Amino acid sequence: ATHAASIPRNYPSITPPYATLIQNLEHIRNVLTRPLTLAEKILYSHLHDPISGLGNGGRIRGEAYLQLKPERVAMQDASAHLQFMSAGLARCAVPTSIHCDHLIQASEGAKADLERSIISNQEVFDFLESAARKYGIEFWRPGSGIIHQIVLENYAAPGMLMLASYKNSHTPNAGGLGMLAIGVGGADAVDAMTGTPWELKAPQIVGVHLTGNLSGWATTKDLILHLAGRLTVRGGTGRIIEYFGPGVHSQSCTGLATIANMGAEVGATTSTFPYTSNMQSYLHATGRGPVAQAADEAAAKGFLSADEGAEYDEILEINLSDLEPTINGPFTPDLATPLSRFGAFVKEQGWKDELSAGLIGSCTNSSYEDMTRVADLARQAKAAGLTAKIPFLCTPGSEQIRATMERDSVTSTLQDVGAVVLANACGPCIGQWKRDDKKGEENAILTSFNRNFRSRNDGNRQTMNFLASPTIVTAMAFSGSLSFNPMTDSLTLDSGKPFKFSPPSGQDLPLTGFTPGDTSCYPLPTPAPQSDAEVVIQKDSKRLELLEPFTSPFSDGNLELPSLKVLMRVRGKCTTDHISAAGPWLKYKGHLTNISENLRKLFDRFFCGEVNVAFDHDAPGGITETDTIPNVAKRFKAKNQSWALVVDDNYGEGSAREHAALQPRFYGCNLIVARSFARIHETNLKKQGVLPLWFSDKADYSRIGSCDVIQTIGLANLLQGQLDTIIKLKVTNRRGETFEIPTKHTMSTDQIKWLRAGSALNYIRSQMQS
């Protein structure tokens, strides 16, 4: 296929520096003399210091901290941008792009929805565009598509290491092109954007050996739905999933991207595949012939696949010939039921056998292959005189996909049977779906998206959301029933005759190449930074605010935290969602002051079991007052009173939302003492300059209460580089009793520098200035 597009391509910025990476790997092989997996090759060849970055070797996976040099960053919103701006650089150290895909609500159809969203979010889009201009960032305007699809079509390349920030769990989608793409918080993205080494605890590697062939109705979506059932939502935590075996090579590149995309549903750091001829074809078809040629050469040198005999931490076998379509859910992506059992499952649960909507597309499943397969089913249905029985919505992943679908009559074929094609944006996948007819009502929807927790799509907790391949969603949209199995069941036509779908077929790439569509939403090919450009933030904006650097609590030379007041002891499960609520608050994520008002969610399960209540024992007049969490925290902040939290086990589990660390820090939190922390949140706290400490004896958790005063003993030694220091907490409780509690820390040498500077950003800024 030829690429007919006029989408600008900048080859140096999108071709990994293979010669350097291969050379780096030679240094690594002097230290690690064993065969390497593909994921290890990509990670280790991106070490900031490939000569001594792995020390003397030994056990790396699951233990060592790697200092890495990603080649590219993609961002979705204002948060990372604002943090980058406060680092004080004139330009990004690596090529960076920004994408507007979350704020477009699906309501009337693509054109009207896009126009309305541009007006209602104008100030955010103006800010992003102006900041992109100033710093030389590629700006993808609203309507251009979903970040992960755009990355796959334009930037992804075999062997590359890239990061994407904020709400980027599905960044690994780009793994479909044989690379490592990792979703991170804004502060991590800023590391890469400023050329600071980015730290990652070396993940374990799970190998998935694929044999056999998919056939009939089974797709790569069914593979990952099946795998999610086997691994569960936690099975991939701290691990990279690396697929290998003959079954990899028979899948299209975009089919592999679907698998990689949903590795997020099992908690994997990312997923990847060895370079295949289908990846090569996809690079050519998307106008990146020179990248394909460079990748061919790198593959010939063994860089883009695992070494013979490479060892994995665990190996799973999947015979593709045995796979059947699978439906997962509701409410969790790991509840997997084979299609042949699904009707019985619905009956066992006592659910109404009724489907209320079918949704296809999103960043997970809107490839040309997906769309031509569903169009094949739509054509069969139309020929039989059928139309969809329920609302049937389609979200193209990008303008290129939308325009190519339109040119090749895929869109009109879908519309002929009643489908509505929405804007090229996240839409209903992220809850941007104006759906009024089912409010509060129990109902079931089927989507080809990737997430299905409660309220995800339409804000209705009663909507049961099941995940399936686009072809299963499409076929079932013609039956309107949950128990319909298109592989075995027939529909009854008006004539009374039975109609049965034939297994769908499609094309992985368009024969005449992709067409770019409306290029006005694409970025300039190589935007140069314009240092004199003004970054547009409206006066009195409620959605955007420049970030003030956090002050270091050690700037007066005292390296202990002298008198921290305990704001609260948190009891039980506390996820990042409890700390920083999402939903309607998301629109404030570029305004730290306003979003910090949602800190109140923290207290759903807290002290006294009351919601959003904190005590202030030093209220004016010497009395004890109760107030909302943000109000007490604000009062502490106004008095310059640093404070601490005492928290339970696995504090900060859930999504990697960095506002859960930013917000407490904003109000003056300097210390959190936990029975245990969730790893990503613990790192986020360190990045924002909050010291996380673990109780040496978990029973000590109960000895500290609200408004007790804590002082650290031994922190000064840690801040001076003594990593084996034991930090004690001297606690003075409200009865005036004093006692000491031993703790443990997990700070690395680099993280100590962040803490001392007040935040990782402060440290980066000081490095840049010096």
Minimum CB distance to ligand F3S, residue 174 (Å): 12
Minimum CB distance to ligand F3S, residue 430 (Å): 4
163 binds ligand F3S (CB under 6 A): no
Distance, in Å, from the CA atom of 476 to the CA atom of 260, rounded to the nearest integer, reads 25
719 binds ligand F3S (CB under 6 A): no
Burial grade of 673 (CB within 10 A; 0-12, 13-18, 19 or more): buried
452 binds ligand F3S (CB under 6 A): no
Q: Any idea what the Cα angle at residue 236 is, between residues 345 and 174, rounded to 5°?
A: 100
Contact characters 417-436, ligand F3S, x per CB under 6 A: ---------x--xx------
362 binds ligand F3S (CB under 6 A): yes
Contacts 24+ apart (CB under 8 A), 723-731: 723/747, 723/748, 723/749, 723/752, 726/696, 727/693, 729/673, 729/693, 729/704, 731/703, 731/704
Q: By C-beta, is 43 or 162 nearer to ligand F3S?
A: 162
The values of phi and psi at residue 535, to 5°, are: -85, 125
Contact characters 78-107, ligand F3S, x per CB under 6 A: -----------------------x------
Burial grade of 368 (CB within 10 A; 0-12, 13-18, 19 or more): buried
Minimum CB distance to ligand F3S, residue 448 (Å): 11
Q: By C-beta, is 72 or 102 nearer to ligand F3S?
A: 102
363 binds ligand F3S (CB under 6 A): yes
Tally of CB atoms within 10 A around 122: 12
Selected from 146, 266, 285, 476, the binder of ligand F3S by CB under 6 A is: 146
Q: By C-beta, is 423 or 715 nearer to ligand F3S?
A: 423
Residue 355 tokens read as 């489907």
If binding means CB under 6 A, how many residues of this protein chain bind ligand F3S? 12
74 binds ligand F3S (CB under 6 A): no
Three-class SS state of 386? coil
**Segment interacting with ligand F3S (CB under 6 A) among 37-45, 140-148, 327-335, 525-533:** 140-148
Tally of CB atoms within 10 A around 216: 12
Residue 580 tokens read as 């920083």
Between the CA of residue 129 and those of 50, 132, 416, 464, 534, what are the distances in Å? 36, 5, 38, 38, 10
Minimum CB distance to ligand F3S, residue 257 (Å): 12
**Segment interacting with ligand F3S (CB under 6 A) among 146-154, 385-393, 577-585, 684-692:** 146-154
Q: Any idea what the Cα angle at residue 421 is, between residues 418 and 424, rounded to 5°?
A: 170
Q: By C-beta, is 194 or 365 nearer to ligand F3S?
A: 365
Selected from 450, 469, 670, 762, the binder of ligand F3S by CB under 6 A is: 450
Distance, in Å, from the CA atom of 180 to the CA atom of 196, rounded to the nearest integer, reads 19
Minimum CB distance to ligand F3S, residue 151 (Å): 10
Q: Which helix (H) or strand (E) holds 363?
A: none
Q: By C-beta, is 429 or 672 nearer to ligand F3S?
A: 429
Contact characters 554-593, ligand F3S, x per CB under 6 A: ----------------------------------------
Q: By C-beta, is 363 or 509 nearer to ligand F3S?
A: 363
Q: Are 666 and 685 in contact (CB under 8 A)?
A: no
Residue 327 tokens read as 């439906």
148 binds ligand F3S (CB under 6 A): yes
Three-class SS state of 308? coil
Minimum CB distance to ligand F3S, residue 374 (Å): 17
Residues that bind ligand F3S (CB under 6 A): 101, 146-148, 170, 362-363, 426, 429-430, 449-450
